[in-house]
């Protein structure tokens, strides 16, 4: 029987925050579904909850998707800064920290990378 992998604290935090984001997307999607535009937010909410589950249990696909979404988040934040939203710098910092953290040896090992 395979021994249980110890989940790093940072992965736990990222998974919880991802799940919270997913719940917010779901709630927003349900609210906006009334006027017909909530389906995309519902889909995002479900995707975020699936990703949070994958992070929680250490699936390699969740590690990869988190890296991709963080890279996309950096690009979106750069565009946002270019359009005058200086607050997006915080988003860039958060995404860079997540990417850096996911490449730590113990975190990669947790995800089997």
Taking every pair of C-alpha atoms in the chain, what is the biggest distance, in angstroms? Answer: 55
Per-residue pLDDT, 37: 75
Per-residue pLDDT, 4: 64
Per-residue pLDDT, 1: 38
Residue 3 in any domain: the answer is no
pTM of the entire structure? Answer: 0.82
pLDDT > 90: percent of the chain: 72
Contacts of 30 (CB under 8 A, 6+ apart): 38, 42
Residue 1 in any domain: the answer is no
Neighbours of 50 (CB within 10 A): 16
Residue 83 in any domain: the answer is yes
Tell me the residue range of the domain where 47 lies: 9-110
Per-residue pLDDT, 2: 46
- The list of the chain residues with pLDDT below 50 reads 1-3
Residue 102 in any domain: the answer is yes
Contacts of 27 (CB under 8 A, 6+ apart): 45
Q: What is the distance between the alpha carbons of residues 29 and 40, in angstroms, rounded to a whole number?
A: 7
How many domains does one find in the chain?
A: 1
Residue 80 in any domain: the answer is yes
């Amino acid at each position: 029987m395979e021994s249980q992998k110890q989940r790093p604290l940072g992965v736990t935090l990222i998974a919880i925050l991802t799940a919270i984001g997913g719940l917010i997307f779901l709630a927003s999607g349900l609210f906006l579904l009334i006027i017909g535009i909530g389906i995309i937010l519902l889909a995002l909410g479900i995707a975020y909850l699936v990703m949070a589950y994958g992070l929680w249990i250490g699936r390699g696909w969740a590690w990869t998707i988190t890296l991709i979404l963080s890279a996309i988040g950096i690009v979106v934040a750069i565009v946002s800064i270019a359009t005058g939203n200086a607050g997006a710098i915080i988003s860039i910092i958060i995404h860079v920290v997540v990417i850096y953290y996911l490449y730590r040896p113990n975190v990669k090992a947790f995800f089997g990378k």
